[in-house]
């Protein structure tokens, strides 16, 4: 399908109908279904921005289209697509950065627009963590996550992971391999309270929260408790 997309892009003109007809003639039935589902999700993304000033992250738009297509195929062809489809739900993420003493240096929290698969959101948040660490040039970084599944997948070779989540972690795997000073560790949610507090706050808010040096009051008590103040 990769060699077909450039020709479709080149043939796009003001009238979209001939363009769609050409797409239908070049793509298989399955590929066309994926293509149309993606277009529909891109239109929903545009409407969310125009009417609500909320812009869904592009990876979430693509992943939602993929999961919706998987749902449809699971119903229409249950014997061919019997794998369990990951659930979609409201999701938020948070990225608090702390020094070796536990003090919060900076971070962000954000509510993702539209229902999203929580595991894919975790993978995307992990990439943001990595990019933040690389941008700041920190010499030693330990990323803590309460997603045991993510840590387990990254701890095994790519070839041994056949789950639907494996491919979405390949960019993270490549970054970790290229930067051995960045490590990943699983911790229970009960000990990840700062991140959980920020995520819970973001889930009920439409605005993203970014902070640097001075952290928000909503995590003040949690931070003080962690460091023994």
pLDDT digits (tens, 9 = 90+) for 49-100: 888 887 776 766 776 776 676 666 666 655 544 445 556 677 787 888 988 8
In a domain, 86, yes or no: no
Does 82 fall in a domain?
no
Q: Is residue 180 part of a domain?
A: yes
Host domain of residue 47: 5-76
> Poorest-confidence range of 114-118, 188-192, 198-202, 204-208?
114-118
Name the one residue in this structure whose structure tokens are 């249950």. 78
- Do the domain assignments include residue 83? no
Residues 42 and 155 in one domain: no
Question: Which among 156, 142, 151, 155 is positioned nearest to 123, based on CA atoms?
Answer: 151
Number of neighbours of residue 202 by Cβ within 10 angstroms: 21
CA dist 137 and 106 (Å) reads: 14
* In-domain check, residue 48: yes
| pLDDT interval class at 120 (50, 70, 90) | confident
Radius of gyration of the chain (CA): 21
Confidence class for position 142, pLDDT limits 50, 70, 90: very high
pLDDT tops 50 at residue 16: yes
The two structure tokens encoding residue 206: 């439409």
Count of structural domains within the chain: 2
Note whether 108 and 62 are same-domain residues.
no
Last residue in a domain, options 76, 100, 128: 76
């Amino acid at each position: 399908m990769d060699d077909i997309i450039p020709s479709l892009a080149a043939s796009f003109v003001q009238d979209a109908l001939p363009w769609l007809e050409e797409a239908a003639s070049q793509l298989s039935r399955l590929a066309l279904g994926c293509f149309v589902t993606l277009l529909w999700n891109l239109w929903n993304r545009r409407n969310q921005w125009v009417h609500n000033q909320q812009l869904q992250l592009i990876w979430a738009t693509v992943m939602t289209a993929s999961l919706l297509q998987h749902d449809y195929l699971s119903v229409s062809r249950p014997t061919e697509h019997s794998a369990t489809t990951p659930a979609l739900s409201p999701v938020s993420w948070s990225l608090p950065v702390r020094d070796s003493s536990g003090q919060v240096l900076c971070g962000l929290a954000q509510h993702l627009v539209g229902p999203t698969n929580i595991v894919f959101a975790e993978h995307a948040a992990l990439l943001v963590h990595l990019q933040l660490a690389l941008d700041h040039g920190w010499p030693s970084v330990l990323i803590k996550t309460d997603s045991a599944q993510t840590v387990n997948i990254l701890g095994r070779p790519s070839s041994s992971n056949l789950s639907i989540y494996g491919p979405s972690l390949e960019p993270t795997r490549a970054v970790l391999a290229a930067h051995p000073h960045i490590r990943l560790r699983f911790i229970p949610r009960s000990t990840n309270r700062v991140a959980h507090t920020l995520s819970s706050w973001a889930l009920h808010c439409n605005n993203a929260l970014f902070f640097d040096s001075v952290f928000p009051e909503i995590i003040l008590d949690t931070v003080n408790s962690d460091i023994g103040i």
